[in-house]
Amino acid sequence: MSRAPGVRHLGYFMFLSRWLQVPLYLGLIAAQGVYVWHFLLELWHLIVDTGAGKLDETDIMLVVLGLVDVVMIANLLIMVIVGGYETFVSRIRLDGHPDQPEWLSHVNANVLKVKLATAIIGISSIHLLKTFIDASKHDADTMLWQTVIHLAFVVSAVALAYIDGMGGPKHLPAAPPGRQHGDGPLESDAERAVASR
């Protein structure tokens, strides 16, 4: 039984509404531009202040960790922009492009969530390392809570990966004697009966 035209048009309209997300992804691209500008400013200050002898080894390490933090956030933005657009808006169709990210070929909502969780753990690790390096400027409660929050991110990422693995491909049934799992689809009894008629 076919759907009523009104219901079908409503479905098409809802499907078209995915394009409303495009300004959001464009906004994230603009935010990435802000991060690039911030990175260049911090790099310039690092070079100038180091040349002037204003920074010791610990200060340089903290500034470099800050630059790494900016890079990891930029990587997170790229995953959200490219992966989110590919998953929820429209195919980018980069098949065969030499610069196509390896993960983009099998991206879906679950894979994207796991990758984002992993990226957040990396960013949290940088912040935690900066706190430990500059421990004299932080009280014990702050360090404890940052560690607890970081561990919560780790547990969340492991849980997401486990849940994603539960929905992964199941093991194939054993092939009949003399037949391998690459020889084509296995026929059921009903399919063989139809083919023999």
Tens of pLDDT, residues 2-37:
566 667 778 888 888 889 999 999 999 999 999 999
> Is 194 inside any structural domain?
no
- Nearest Cα residue to 162 out of 113, 105, 90: 113
Rounded Cα gap, residues 99 and 91, in angstroms:
16
pTM score, two decimals?
0.66
Residue 23 lies in a domain: yes
Domain membership of residue 86 (yes or no) is: yes
What's the structural domain count of the chain? 1
Q: Which amino acid is at 34?
A: V
Domain that holds residue 72: 19-167
Residue 126 covered by a domain: yes
For residue 3, tell me if it sits in a domain.
no
In one letter, which amino acid is 171?
A: H
Render pLDDT for 77-119 as a digit per residue (tens, 0 to 9): 988 888 888 888 887 776 777 776 666 666 667 777 777 888 8
- Whether 181 has a pLDDT exceeding 50, the answer reads no
Confidence of residue 134 (pLDDT cuts 50, 70, 90): confident
177 found inside a domain: no
Question: Is 176 a domain residue?
Answer: no
